[in-house]
């Protein structure tokens, strides 16, 4: 008779938890997984997937406009928000089913309930009204939007969770934040015809990205009609008698809008999980502290994904899950590799990026060659759209290694995936130069920039 009910019990059915449960079960382990809301987690249910569907929806007005230059007459278009929400719900329900089925198909047991640790090997399944025991426990409970409770009137605000399912499309919205979520949703709402304002506390949106890309995106978003207020924060949100909201800004302006959305970062879901009872340590922001192998201070308890607040990205959580299975069940200790993670911001235009920004690279390397091209993509020639595409390679002059690649423009996310391979393989600018261009594409610029646009020597730009 086995000592525990399960070899592995996973708390949290998002991308990381489900992957770990499925792969461990397929190895023949006795696996259980509990999810209190919906299998699929943030990414599938109220994050990446619905977001991308809404990005597509919001791009149609520009496609209709661009069609004219290619000879098409498009009759005035109408948009039905509720139909979009309903179609999104159908697709999400389909994916949710696949996630659950994936675990069960591999032999795992899925529970639709909250799970709470009682001690290091015991878990209470609240909805089932029983306790189970497990040899290894994996916590993958993810995160949630920072509620920003210090803001007077924060209770009137929405977050990305609610933005997907608003009963009506607002006429006007103001979004606070300058990160991925704020920027992506500003573009989505604007594209759907909502009067959109973005407020950001810092100097320029998208803090961790290359400054050229940040500035160029800011300019293009403003040209499209999105109002962006930097160095600005809300001081209070008031509900008016007509049901609309007054957002008071530090600078004195009051914006009257239908919705105020806060996208001010995300915090780990670690409350009321029984972490204290099990002796699991948390850090300053509530995140579960783990070692290089995703193990907590309690030897049989592990944590992966956003709850550990390392890199808050779905593919990273999945990678951490795979490494966890290698370490815990295949006798092959494997550290997740968080270096050189490619990423995309599904703004409009899109950002695709991997490696170091020019500013960060300048702190690490004495001499950089910067290759930079800004041009109007071919698809905009007949449409007359003036938007420019930007491509930039940051090269360590000494080794010739490409240490950063940044793209702003259509399909930049797709390009970032492939650039990610090149940079992970530590390819040099000479490898890029040796690669034949694919013509006519926008991406060919990445292998045809022969001369540096400028150098950066000891942190100083040299023309
Ligand atoms: P981000 O960390 O990207 O951005 C948070 C923003 O909120 C920053 O601009 C930050 O400003 C600002 N901020 C934080 N605290 C305050 C405050 N007290 N007052 C005013 N402004 C504040 O978080 P998001 O919420 O946008 O997204 C969460 C995570 O989800 C991201 O880090 C990303 O990893 C992931 N994500 C990924 C996506 C993708 O891959 N396409 C899409 C969406 C989310 P400052 O810059 O000054 O710190």
The pLDDT of residue 293 is above 80: yes
Query: For atom 30 of ligand 1, which residue has the closest CA?
Result: 312
The distance in angstroms from the start CA to the end CA of the chain is: 74
Nearest CA to ligand 1 atom 47: 202
Please tell us whether the domain made up of 6-145+267-329 is placed in CATH 3.50.50.60: yes
Per-residue pLDDT tens over the stretch 267-277: 999 999 999 99
Q: Where in the chain is the domain with CATH 3.30.390.30?
A: 343-462
Mean pLDDT along residues 227-240: 98
| Cα separation values, 116 from 201, 286, 357, Å | 37, 16, 42
Whether 159 lines ligand 1, by a CB cut-off of 6 Å, is: no
Q: What is the DSSP string of 402-434?
A: EEEEEEESTTHHHHHHHHHHHHHTT-BHHHHHH
Mean pLDDT value across the chain: 97
**Angstrom distance (rounded) from CA 38 to CA 99:** 10
| Spatial distance between the Cα atoms of 463 and 461, rounded to a whole number of angstroms | 7
Which tokens hold the place of 254?
A: 């009051």
Fold of 343-462: Enolase-like; domain 1 (3.30.390)
**CATH class of segment(s) 154-263:** alpha beta
Mean pLDDT over 218-239 rounds to 98
> What ligand 1 atom has the least distance to the C-alpha of 233?
20
Look at residue 402 and tell me whether its pLDDT is greater than 80.
yes
Residue 7: helix, strand or coil by DSSP? strand
Instruction: Report CA(77)–ligand 1 centroid distance (Å).
Output: 34
Which tens digit of pLDDT belongs to each residue from 295-322? 999 999 999 999 999 999 999 999 999 9
Q: Which of 43, 201, 310 to mutate to test the pocket of ligand 1 (most atoms within 8 A of CB)?
A: 201
Q: Which helix (H) or strand (E) holds 277?
A: helix 275-278
| Each residue's pLDDT tens digit, 404-413 | 999 999 999 9
Token readout for 246 is: 């007054």
Task: Spell out where 120-276 has E strands.
Answer: 122-125, 130-139, 143-145, 172-176, 195-199, 227-229, 234-239, 245-249, 254-257, 259-262, 266-268
pLDDT at position 381: 96
- Does the structure show a pLDDT above 90 at 168? yes
Distance 33 CA to ligand 1 centre (A): 29
> Does ligand 1 come within 6 angstroms of the Cβ of 265?
yes
Whether pTM > 0.95 for this model: the answer is yes
Q: Residue 253 in 3-state DSSP?
A: coil
Q: Is the pLDDT of residue 199 over 90?
A: yes
Length in residues, the chain: 463
pLDDT for 304 equals 98
Across 210-228, average pLDDT: 98
Portions of the chain given CATH number 3.50.50.60: 6-145+267-329, 154-263
Backbone angles phi, psi at 123, to 5 degrees: -130, 135
Residue 171 pLDDT > 70? yes
- Residue for token pair 């292998």: 447
The Å distance, Cα 2 to ligand 1 centre, comes to: 45
Of ligand 1's listed atoms, the one at least distance from the Cα of 148 is 18
- Reply yes or no on whether the pLDDT at 10 is more than 70: yes
Give the pLDDT band (50/70/90) at residue 21: very high
Does the beta carbon of 405 sit less than 6 angstroms from any atom of ligand 1? Answer: no
181 CA: nearest ligand 1 atom: 26
pLDDT tens digit sequence for 330-389:
999 999 999 999 999 999 999 999 999 999 999 999 999 999 999 999 999 999 999 999
pLDDT of the residue at 1 = 62
Q: Which two tokens stand for residue 309?
A: 């607040």
439 is catalytic: yes
Confidence of residue 141 (pLDDT cuts 50, 70, 90): very high
**341 ligand 1 Cβ < 6 A:** no
């Amino acid at each position: 008779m086995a000592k525990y009910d399960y070899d592995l019990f996973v708390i949290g059915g998002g991308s990381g938890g489900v992957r770990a449960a499925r792969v461990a079960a397929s190895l023949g382990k006795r696996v259980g997984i509990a999810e209190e809301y919906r299998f699929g987690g943030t990414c599938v249910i109220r994050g990446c997937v619905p977001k991308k569907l809404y990005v597509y929806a919001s791009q149609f007005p520009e496609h209709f406009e661009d069609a004219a230059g290619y000879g098409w007459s498009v009759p005035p278009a109408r948009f039905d928000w509720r139909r979009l929400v309903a179609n999104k719900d159908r697709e999400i329900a389909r994916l949710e089913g696949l996630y659950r089925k994936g675990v069960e198909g591999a032999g795992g047991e899925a529970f639709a309930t909250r799970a709470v640790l009682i001690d290091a090997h015991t878990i209470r399944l609240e909805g089932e009204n029983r306790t189970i025991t497990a040899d290894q426990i994996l916590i993958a409970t993810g995160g949630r939007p920072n509620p920003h409770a210090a803001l007077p009137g924060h209770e009137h605000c929405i977050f990305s969770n609610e933005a997907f399912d608003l009963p009506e499309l607002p006429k006007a919205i103001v979004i606070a934040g300058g990160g991925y979520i704020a920027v992506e949703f500003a573009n989505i709402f604007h594209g759907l015809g909502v009067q959109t304002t973005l407020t950001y506390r810092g100097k320029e949106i998208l803090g961790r990205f290359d400054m050229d890309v940040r500035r160029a995106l800011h300019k293009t978003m403003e040209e499209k009609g999105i109002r962006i207020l930097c160095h600005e924060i809300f001081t209070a949100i008031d509900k008016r008698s007509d049901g609309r909201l007054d957002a008071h800004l530090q600078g004195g302006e009051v914006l009257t809008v239908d919705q105020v959305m806060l996208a001010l970062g995300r915090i780990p879901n670690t409350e009321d999980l029984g972490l204290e009872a099990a002796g699991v340590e948390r850090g300053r922001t509530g995140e579960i502290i783990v070692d290089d192998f995703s193990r907590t201070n309690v030897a049989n308890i592990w944590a992966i994904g956003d709850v550990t607040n390392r890199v808050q990205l779905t593919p990273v959580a999945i990678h951490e899950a795979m490494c966890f299975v290698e370490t815990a069940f295949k006798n092959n200790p494997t550290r997740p590799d968080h270096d050189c993670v490619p990423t995309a911001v599904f703004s409009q235009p899109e950002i695709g990026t991997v490696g170091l920004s020019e500013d960060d690279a300048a702190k690490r390397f004495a001499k950089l060659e910067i290759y930079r091209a800004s041009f109007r993509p071919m698809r905009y020639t007949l449409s007359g759209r003036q938007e420019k595409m930007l491509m930039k390679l940051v090269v360590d002059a000494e080794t010739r290694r490409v240490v950063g690649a940044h793209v702003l423009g259509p399909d930049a996310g797709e390009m970032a995936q492939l650039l990610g391979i090149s940079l992970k393989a530590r390819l040099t600018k000479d490898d890029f130069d040796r690669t034949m261009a694919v013509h006519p594409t926008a991406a060919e610029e990445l292998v045809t920039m022969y001369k540096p646009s400028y150098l950066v020597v000891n942190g100083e730009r040299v023309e």
